[in-house]
Amino acid sequence: MRITVDGGKCAGHAQCHAVAPDVFELDEVGYAVPFAGEAPPGLEEQAGRGADACPEGAITIEN
């Protein structure tokens, strides 16, 4: 499972971190830290919930 967090779309809603704190990090002002890469092993379900929670569609999941 590949995760992409698009920093250009993130508006700082922080819902990704609220529901998937082990997958998505926030920076000092509450925006998701941009990331592209494989989901941490065992955290795929959490990653999916985080992506679904983002109202901006800033997180893309590819299986």
By the rule CB under 6 A, 59 interacts with ligand F3S: yes
Task: Count CA atoms within 13 Å of residue 5 on its CB side.
Answer: 27
Nearest to 32 by CA among 12, 49, 60: 12
Minimum Å gap between C-beta 42 and ligand F3S is: 21
Residue among 20, 23, 47, 54 that touches ligand F3S (CB under 6 A): 54
Which amino acid makes up residue 19? V
Minimum Å gap between C-beta 54 and ligand F3S is: 3
DSSP letter at 58 equals -
By the rule CB under 6 A, 11 interacts with ligand F3S: yes
